[in-house]
Structure 1
């Protein structure tokens, strides 16, 4: 694509965009009585306009049926989750039976590590990227301590090479191979939250299995953002949140993936609950846990229907839009345009005022650019916000901007870059 640095070009791309109608499916935050430029879907996606009606429907079911809502009405709650499985399977590259919807992301990582982190003998270590989101770091550290191990000895973190910001795939694979006899689990982000780097998950999964370890992925910044093929990649497990690129509300429901190869593995431990009991015998209330077949056997607690309704409102839009492949193509164009415009600012001023630390290769990133500001970084971020451009701040000097294909436009991207360019002048 030969991008141009003018609003008319951006508006022409918007006119040609086959997904442009879906912007109207979301509420856009207002700034001075106009639509803000919202580039923070990597932190919290926008609210679908349909979310309120989906919630109201379930409130009516509660009002009309009370406890019988689990069994009666157009959408009985006992099976409500099933309507979410096929859309999620398409986004995740999974079989519907390999998915269940439950809890929040970090809770799910803990529950999954009960099954897939089983230190024994020399094989006690967890390998992960350095600079993973703090929740992942804390979860891994506490899991290691729970087994009576020292995190210093039991966690292997992979750092970028000196002078580099992102990880090289060959270094990840080499580190796995070097520690093959000691690794019990490889736990990686799909996309690093800080740099926006999309990791080579199939290569990581293959290397982990060759080393004799389990492999799992935190897909917080990947689900609903990039194409995934969890089943074909052979990942043992994964979890994600739904409130970022999947627009399912603050603190929205999470989910897990467990590969079908583990469905009949009785050696896997798990923390059990009644909601994970086999459905054909669930109401017999018998002692002795017998898990439901598939990922649903990892469920613990009752489905939170209101959260699921919010999730369904967004997933239905993904379905209407034709799925992740089309969205990924537009996301690449939006992000590529933003990259082009930021580089134009640098060229105009003859120095790298803004350094993009997210990989330039589209296959190594999703819809996110992490931008290091050379001068007055926090003031620049505040300037953007004061002028209606909503991004995301990360200490000490990074602004994350994430154009989301379901609701962002090329004009949004142009206006964001134009505001960034103006900040250079106004903040001198």
Structure 2
């Protein structure tokens, strides 16, 4: 398609957008009395309007049924989380039994490390990307220290090439081959939080497993954003948060994927708790743990229903739309944003540089030249919410559920004004 940097063209794209009605399904903050242009769904998704109904249901059941809400509520609390598994499995490319919802992201990564990081004297190294998200770095370092290992020698980072802003798949594969039978685990952010790059998860998983390592993925920026086939790719495990592209609310419940080959086993290393035992015998209070036959065996405590309810509300929309349609719009609206950025860059004599490669999801990261955080502040003052990352990067994520093509055009005009004001 030949894009145009005009309001009429953007409005025409919106008129043809099959997902346009979902914009009205979300609450938008306002600046100067007008809804913002929201580019930070990669940090916290907007609130779906239907979320309130799901929360109110739980609160009403609590007030009217109290403890009996566990069994007598319209959506009984004791198995509330099970309602999320089937729709989530479609989003991540898994079997329903391979998916569960529990805890929060880094907590789940720590718990999954119990099962999937089993260092030996020879096989103990962990491969990750250079400058992984800090929480992942802290998690890996603390796990290694817990095992009596030195993070400086046990963590192998795949670096970007000098002068480049992205990782090359061949470099990741080469590093896996280089570490070889010393490699215990590959754990990478499937979509990089900083530059928006989507790693070739299928190829990297195959390479990691070919040398005998476990392979897991942090999909905080991947779930609800890019096409995933965790089961078909033979991934061992994955975890993600739900409050970015999945719009479940700040800090809400995390999801996990555990490959079916590890399910229904009593002898797998795992930290265990009451809610992971078979539901049929859970209230018999037996002293011996008997695991659920699915990923719920990794649950420790009963689900935080008030946290899970907004996730279920959002998943209802994912069921209605489907990942295929979301990805189709994501590709088109991100391409239009890139076109707008290139037009503005040309008109402002090269004021910034796009550092996101073509292997991308919903995010474009822009490195500013000769502009400081004052440009970020200008955008915010004029109704554009973006994300600032040091030293000089603005992240833009036009989530397809609620961002419009007109947003992209209007952002371009505000960006041009902000750069030109100097």
TM-score past 0.5 threshold: yes
Kindly report which structure 2 residues correspond to 1:329-340, keeping only aligned pairs within 5 A, or say none.
329-340=328-339
Q: Given that residues 348 and 419 in structure 2 are in contact (C-alpha distance below 8 angstroms), is that contact kept between their aligned partners in structure 1?
A: no
Matched ranges for 1:272-421 at <5 A = 272-321=272-321, 323-350=322-349, 352-359=350-357, 361=358, 364-421=359-416
SS in 2 for 1:422: helix
Give the conservation status (yes or no) of the 8 Å contact 1:273–1:301. Answer: yes
In structure 2, C-alpha distance between the alignment counterparts of 1:342 and 1:326, rounded to whole Å: 24
Give per-residue Cα distances to partners, 1:26-70, cap 9 Å, x unaligned: 001111111110111000000010111110101111111111111
Q: What's the counterpart of residue 222 of structure 1?
A: 222
Q: Distance in 2 between matches of 1:377 and 1:132?
A: 24
In structure 1, distance between residues paired with 2:240 and 2:330: 20
Number of aligned residue pairs: 422
- Checking the alignment, whether the CA contact within 8 Å between 1:65 and 1:72 is kept in structure 2 is yes
Alignment of 1:189-204 (within 5 A): 189-204=189-204
Structure-to-structure mapping, 1:166-185, within 5 angstroms: 166-185=166-185
Equivalents in 1 of 2:272, 2:109: separation in Å? 15
**Structure 1 segment 135-174 matched on structure 2, within 5 A:** 135-174=135-174
Instruction: In structure 1, list runs of 5 or more residues that go unmatched.
Output: none
Contact 1:37 1:388 in 2 (8 A): yes
- Name the SS of the counterpart of 2:329 in structure 1: helix
Cα distance between partner residues in 2 of 1:22 and 1:349: 34
Structure 1 runs (4+) deviating above 2 angstroms are: 264-268
> TM-score by structure 1 length?
0.97
> For residues 375-409 of structure 1, what are the alpha-carbon distances to aligned partners after superposition, in whole Å with 9 as ceiling and x for unaligned?
12211111110100000000110000100000000
Counterpart CA distance in 2 for 1:10 and 1:97 is 42
Does residue 103 of structure 1 match 2:103?
yes
| Contiguous gaps of at least 5 residues in structure 2 | none
Query: 1:160 is paired with a residue of what secondary structure?
Result: coil
Report deviation, 1:264: 4.2
SS at match of 2:367: strand
Match of 1:69 in 2: 69
Deviation at 1:268, TM superposition (A): 2.4
CA contact (8 A) 2:44 2:244 kept: yes
Aligned to 1:94: 94
State whether residues 365 and 395 of structure 2, in contact with CA within 8 Å, keep that contact through their aligned partners in structure 1. yes
Q: 1:267-304 CA deviation, whole Å, 9 max, x = no partner? A: 42111000001112111111122211111000011110
The 3-state SS of whatever aligns with 1:384 is helix
Look up the SS of the partner of 1:279 in the other structure. Answer: coil
Q: CA deviation at 1:73?
A: 2.5
Report the secondary structure of 1:251's partner residue: coil
Counterpart of 1:71 in 2: which secondary structure?
helix
Please state how far the C-alpha of 1:266 moved relative to its aligned partner: 4.5
Partner of 2:79: 79
Q: CA deviation at 1:343?
A: 0.8
Give the Cα separation in 2 of the matches to 1:378 and 1:128: 30
| CA distances 1:320-351 after superposition (whole Å, capped 9, x unpaired) | 22x1111011011111111111111222233x
Provide the C-alpha distance between the structure 1 equivalents of 2:33 and 2:373, rounded to a whole number of angstroms. Answer: 25
Quickly say closer, same or farther: Cα 1:45–1:335, change in 2 above 3 A: same
Residues in 1 aligned to 2:73 and 2:281: alpha-carbon distance in whole angstroms: 23
Alignment CA distance shift 1:183-1:116 (3 Å) = same
Name the CA shift for 1:400/1:207 in 2 (closer, same or farther; >3 Å): same
2:236 matched residue in structure 1: 236
Per-residue deviation, residues 68-121 of structure 1 (Å, max 9, x unmatched):
111112111112112111110110001110011000000000000011000012
Secondary structure of the structure 2 residue equivalent to 1:122: coil
> Which deviations, in whole Å up to 9, do the C-alpha atoms of 1:159-178 show, x marking residues without a partner?
10111111000000110011
**2:27 matched to 1:13?**
no
Partner of 2:315: helix, strand, or coil? helix
